[in-house]
Structure 1
Amino acid sequence: MGVSNPTLITFVIYIAAMVLIGLVAYRATQNLSDYILGGRRLGSLVTALSAGASDMSGWLLMGLPGAIYLSGLSASWIAIGLVAGAYLNWLFVAGRLRVHTEQCGDALTLPDYFTSRFEDRSGSLRIISAVVILVFFTIYCASGIVAGARLFESTFGMPYETALWAGAAATIAYTFVGGFLAVSWTDTVQATLVIFALILTPIVALLATGGIDTTFLAIEAKDPAHFDMLRGTSVVGIVSLLGWGLGYFGQPHILARFMAADSVKSIAKARRISMAWMILCLGGTVAVGFFAIAFFAGRPELAGAVEANHERVFIELVKVLFNPWVVGVLLSAILAAVMSTLSCQLLVCSSALTEDLYKAFLRNGASQRELVWVGRAMVLAVALVAIALAADPENRVLGLVAYAWAGFGAAFGPVVLLSVVWRGMTRDGALAGIVVGALTVVLWKHYSPIELYEIIPGFLFAALAIWLVSLWGRAPSASMQARFEASRQMYQQDK
């Protein structure tokens, strides 16, 4: 492939722009708070789009449209669950967590917040929550690297092993250099690119197949059951797909955006922007997968790559519908979705290793400059482990995401949610919730005879463990209750 290839040129320009943003952010990064949370100075727009982009990884443009292409509208229950979960997370957690983390020693990370919120002098909460973050986020990072590898493999004909490194290199570069500000600023650009791709592509696909009536007739001719939202599903299956919404309460990379907002007042406006973006993106994703059924049914000679791997449906559709320059822009949207989430995940892993392990237990007196560089080194270390996990070319993006999403949703979701609304929650309750949630996900995933998504029993059992242990154990201290009340009053005043 020559360098004159328009798609390659577009990719190079896009990646160079992201790295340039990282270099600008490097100049604004003075200490660990800047590197991890951007100094808590994100406005509504950046908070909203950064939260959305960090959430919607490569599965938005690969895993979900592939599932719709394969199963029809019955796979769209997951989108309904995600919209409901995201809205409730913005409504009940976002503003409260922003205040509580500031009141609890200006906590920079979730483990840091748990430790201060529950006055855990033993360090148990910090260690266990940091380990949960490292385990599940490394799997999550691997999913992003797989998605990036699939993109480079399909677009440029690279071997999978080479595509792994090509897909990860740019993200590692700007995260390493610029930290949270680079990640948040690039997220805003990437979120704009993703929504552009997901509005334009289904419209052009619809026109290419002859309009709505012709498209729907072609889909019905291939398999009428594609229109049936209950096709091949059961009550357990639908509940499992809707259960994805529970995951939002415990995703560290999304919660970090709430913690970094410049004020509680920004949250309401950010919620409206973020939810509008999310609904448009998910609607576009479902439309891409659904309209592709008709498009490729009428062009079976072009469907080989999609039939071999349905997660490539967006890539193959774009390559057929548009000229190479536009293809480069639209396929950059996949790279944008991958990079935005992967960068957030790498940064959260780095912060867990730096703030919650290195600083807390090894070098409490470390300078801010030292901590920033340790954080950068941890970005590289986690990325290398994730690349190793992603090395199997048989990996599927949605499967990896599902496991990590469930792990965080069950381990942290009930703890975060109850910690900002329940004065009576205790340290032992929080510890029990994290352990029970994480273990339930792992055990249910591997040993349960019921095909119920593991986040649901994990979330319920963790919430029950928090409630029972908090009620039966020692009551929260007077200082814990006073700090909770001060946070509650501040939230009410500021919202």
Structure 2
Amino acid sequence: MDVTQILMLITILVYLAAMVGIGAVLAKQNQTTDDFYLGGRTLGPLVTAMSAEASDMSSWLLMGLPGVAYLSGTADAAWTAIGLAIGTYVNWLVVAKRLRNYTHVCGNSTTLPLFFSNRYRDNKRILSVIAALLIIIFFVPYTASGFAACGKLFANLFGMDYLPAMLISAIVIVAYTTLGGFLAASTTDFVQSIVMTIAIVVVFGFGISKVGSFSAVMDNAKSMAGYFSLTHTHDVATGTASPYSLLQIFSTLAWGLGYFGMPHVLLRFMAIGDANKLKLSRRVATVWVVISMAVSVFIGVIGNAMTKAGVLPTLKDPETIILVVADLISKHGVLATIIAGLILAGILAATMSTADSQLLAASSSASQNILKEVFMKDMSEKTGMLIARITVLVIALIGVFIARNPDSSVFQIVSFAWAGFGASFGPLVLLALFWKRSTFQGALCGMVSGGVMVFVWKFLIRPMGGALGIYELLPAFLLGLAVNVIVSLLTPAPSREVQDEFDKVASMK
């Protein structure tokens, strides 16, 4: 490694050490398993807002979104961002406060699966166990993809072997998550959202300065057929525009439906200390999401202009655009090198902030919703804390095993897992919160049918193409919603106790 690489590596290592330090400081606040998995419901509005969004965005914000825009123009990237922005706002507006209040009133539920069982008086914990299994099935490979992304980042930048680079990343994430639990994950996510913001703002400004002006960037975008459009995409091979149909638009917008079922996002709603401050959280989260995604899309557009201007080479992998720009920035002196290291730390932050939340959600499902609720109901708090930390380690080891091969297809699980959570839990969360007539049978059938349809549509129906080639989340979500409603109407109404509890929550301000 040369001096520039060493300086960037030192910057990243200082950042990683700071994350572990936060976990160590917050470790003392974890006196019970409720503290470990939900932070004792003490999060402030800013940490709630930013940790929720940082845990959601992952490296997709800094790599995937700019990469799509760089290659094919704004349509696909913009409609995805619009769908996610709408989903973010509606989730905060409609779900956040009701879920916070309902989970507190309903047996002080500290996990989403536990809330499902408590809400429907499922004493056998059938809903809880099935939901926990779904979380483990989808989140373990998702967490592995985070480990792998961090490993590839170090390997590509510093010439390290992939496996030790991936292991170092995994150890850091596991260290602060195991030490500090939910509070550490949320606090580090808050810090990481700031680092991510710095990264995209610096790259955005540097890119424009290298092209010459924002007008020059726009002129380049408009010069390519279908590139700067919401109804067409740019075909690089032919240089022509391809229609972006109304069906494709709705299919892409459907990404926003996934928010209603994301356990690691919903947990932030449940953990805020004062439900009345969720309005502030909503405003902060929405503004950050809209601005950060818009800037990320334009980074792709700017990167294309930088290539056309000869500032950057043609990228074989468009998703590496921020890495390439960071390398370019590092050649402008010591301070610029440190800033470049901070940008790379931002990419690392985006991945880590998602991986830690997924790791915690998967481990809580295994230890709390399966081990404690089914097999060890009389578990003491001391034993519970020990098992909680051991479970984090076990889940992480499985993730490391899955991520050991850098050429594995684990990354393909990301959009699939998003669809799985959205279709399985999204309709259930909405109906549990807002429909008094929803029954246990409806909840169970809706959750299972939504999850199964994700597999069916992905592997059996979508390959047929044409109108059936839409993202599996949309049809699976609609099916899960319909089945929940129909089965609920065909089964006896909930007990008076359940209905009174629903009315109590609905009347809360």
Partner in structure 2 of residue 321 of structure 1: 329
> How many angstroms apart in 1 are the aligned matches of 2:434 and 2:157?
48
> How many angstroms apart in 1 are the aligned matches of 2:87 and 2:394?
32
Of the structure 1 ranges 313-322 and 168-177, higher mean CA displacement relative to structure 2 is found in 313-322
Percent identity (aligned): 39
Alignment RMSD (CA, Å) = 1.7
Displacement of 1:131: 0.6
1:174-253 paired onto structure 2 within 5 Å: 174-221=176-223, 223-231=224-232, 232=242, 233-253=244-264
Query: CA 1:373–1:297 in 2, change beyond 3 Å: closer, same or farther?
Result: farther
> How many angstroms apart in 1 are the aligned matches of 2:410 and 2:93?
29
Does the aligned pair in 2 maintain the 1:154–1:315 contact within 8 Å? no
1:89-238 paired onto structure 2 within 5 Å: 89-221=91-223, 223-231=224-232, 232=242, 233-238=244-249
Q: Which runs of 5+ in 1 are unaligned?
A: none
Partner in structure 1 of residue 445 of structure 2: 432
Of the structure 1 ranges 247-256 and 346-355, higher mean CA displacement relative to structure 2 is found in 346-355
Does the aligned pair in 2 maintain the 1:53–1:190 contact within 8 Å? yes
Which letter does structure 2 place at the counterpart of 1:249? F
Of 392, 405, 422, the residue aligned with 2:418 is 405
Displacement of 1:163: 2.8
Of the structure 1 ranges 260-269 and 245-254, higher mean CA displacement relative to structure 2 is found in 260-269
Of 357, 362, 383, the residue aligned with 2:396 is 383
Query: CA 1:167–1:70 in 2, change beyond 3 Å: closer, same or farther?
Result: farther
> How many angstroms apart in 2 are the aligned matches of 1:170 and 1:350?
17
Partner in structure 1 of residue 473 of structure 2: 455
Displacement of 1:71: 1.3
Cα displacement string for residues 107-145 of structure 1 (whole angstroms, at most 9, x for unaligned residues):
010110001000012221111101100011113212322
Does the aligned pair in 2 maintain the 1:94–1:255 contact within 8 Å? yes
* Secondary structure, aligned partner of 2:507: helix
Displacement of 1:92: 0.8
> How many angstroms apart in 1 are the aligned matches of 2:345 and 2:409?
20
The alignment status of 1:289 with 2:292, answered yes or no, reads no
Of the structure 1 ranges 452-461 and 394-403, higher mean CA displacement relative to structure 2 is found in 394-403
Does the aligned pair in 2 maintain the 1:147–1:397 contact within 8 Å? no
The alignment status of 1:371 with 2:384, answered yes or no, reads yes
Which letter does structure 2 place at the counterpart of 1:280? I
The alignment status of 1:68 with 2:69, answered yes or no, reads yes
Does the aligned pair in 2 maintain the 1:144–1:397 contact within 8 Å? no
Of the structure 1 ranges 397-406 and 169-178, higher mean CA displacement relative to structure 2 is found in 397-406
Which letter does structure 2 place at the counterpart of 1:53? A
Displacement of 1:58: 1.1
Of 276, 279, 284, the residue aligned with 1:265 is 276
* Secondary structure, aligned partner of 2:267: helix
Query: CA 1:265–1:417 in 2, change beyond 3 Å: closer, same or farther?
Result: same
* Secondary structure, aligned partner of 1:203: helix
Displacement of 1:321: 2.7
Of the structure 1 ranges 430-439 and 377-386, higher mean CA displacement relative to structure 2 is found in 377-386
Does the aligned pair in 2 maintain the 1:58–1:148 contact within 8 Å? no
* Secondary structure, aligned partner of 1:106: coil
Does the aligned pair in 1 maintain the 2:102–2:505 contact within 8 Å? yes
Does the aligned pair in 2 maintain the 1:146–1:396 contact within 8 Å? no
Partner in structure 1 of residue 19 of structure 2: 18
Does the aligned pair in 2 maintain the 1:441–1:455 contact within 8 Å? yes
> How many angstroms apart in 1 are the aligned matches of 2:409 and 2:14?
28
Which letter does structure 2 place at the counterpart of 1:374? I
* Secondary structure, aligned partner of 2:247: helix
Query: CA 1:67–1:392 in 2, change beyond 3 Å: closer, same or farther?
Result: farther
Displacement of 1:386: 2.1
> How many angstroms apart in 1 are the aligned matches of 2:440 and 2:173?
36
Which ranges of 4 or more aligned residues in structure 1 deviate by more than 4 Å?
395-398
Partner in structure 2 of residue 414 of structure 1: 427
> How many angstroms apart in 2 are the aligned matches of 1:387 and 1:237?
35
> How many angstroms apart in 2 are the aligned matches of 1:152 and 1:211?
32
Partner in structure 2 of residue 312 of structure 1: 320
Q: Which runs of 5+ in 2 are unaligned?
A: 233-241, 331-335
The alignment status of 1:479 with 2:497, answered yes or no, reads yes
Does the aligned pair in 2 maintain the 1:194–1:337 contact within 8 Å? yes
> How many angstroms apart in 2 are the aligned matches of 1:28 and 1:408?
30
TM-score normalised to structure 2 length: 0.92
Cα displacement string for residues 303-340 of structure 1 (whole angstroms, at most 9, x for unaligned residues):
36x31x22211111221134321111111011111111
Query: CA 1:275–1:398 in 2, change beyond 3 Å: closer, same or farther?
Result: farther
Partner in structure 2 of residue 5 of structure 1: 6
Cα displacement string for residues 241-285 of structure 1 (whole angstroms, at most 9, x for unaligned residues):
111000000000000000001122011111001111111111111
Displacement of 1:389: 2.7
> How many angstroms apart in 1 are the aligned matches of 2:9 and 2:386?
33
Partner in structure 2 of residue 332 of structure 1: 345
Query: CA 1:135–1:461 in 2, change beyond 3 Å: closer, same or farther?
Result: same
Displacement of 1:345: 0.6
Query: CA 1:399–1:298 in 2, change beyond 3 Å: closer, same or farther?
Result: farther
> How many angstroms apart in 2 are the aligned matches of 1:133 and 1:210?
48
